[in-house]
Amino acid sequence: MKTIFLSFLISVVFLLNLSAQVVQNVNALNFKELIATENAIILDVRTPQEYSRGNIQGSTLINIADPGFVSRINMLQKDKTILIYCLTGSRSSVAANYMTRLGFKKIYNLQQGIMDWNRQGYPLIQSNQAVASTSPAYTEQSFAKLLQANKLVLVDFHAVWCAPCKAMNPVIDKVSADFKGKAKVEKVDVEANKIITAAYQVQTVPGFVLFKEGKKVWSHSGTISYNDLAVVIKKYL
């Protein structure tokens, strides 16, 4: 099934007119410099097995051979710089060209992939990609009860495969601790809560929605600082 999906995706890419946006191919040195200088999403499109053996720190894993590839890619911020890689640069090139059709504006592809990265002696980390979320699955009714039971609720819409979501965890933990008793902070996994995600028009991970007395009063797409979040919460206390 995965092989069929990948073959189909590759066929689609070659049939599409890709002239609307040129993907910039870079070597490992340039890729490393971009990681240091760009506020970017680092995207690994290999398999979970390849990823666990060694990946670039801070990368988001979305396997191009997975049938859920397109829906997950669509949850990334399209206005952010994307730094994409695979083993040799071939899968990432296909993914990058496809992403231009989805509206991503600035994509850099590691032309010879992890092989070039390794040749330069640049570091990789070993880690296992999370396979399931520990956040609850809500029905419309149970989510409504959550909102009714708390005057102010900040909902963190996230995904287990999303590196920017993970980077937000310390910020969310601090908000939860500092506003304990004043505002409820709840994490909602977008893939386990598709109805809730769609109901509140969350299209990007991470995404944040603030509810006051059960009504949506504020929302934000993408990462955000603690100070900016604190200002918003204080405004609605």
**Catalytic (active site) residue 86:** no
Place of tokens 């829906």: 71
Tell me whether residue 120 is exposed, middle or buried, using C-beta atoms within 10 angstroms of its C-beta: 0 to 12, 13 to 18, 19 or more.
exposed
Q: Which of 13, 110, 165, 209 is catalytic?
A: 165
Which residues, in sequence order, are bridge partners of residue 61? Answer: 44
Element (H, E) at 60: strand 59-61
Q: How far apart are CA 219 and CA 94, in angstroms?
A: 33
Cα–Cα distance list, 138 to 72, 135, 224 (Å): 20, 9, 25
CA atoms within 13 Å, Cβ hemisphere of 22: 3
Q: Which of 73, 162, 188, 229 is catalytic?
A: 162
Active site residues: 162, 165
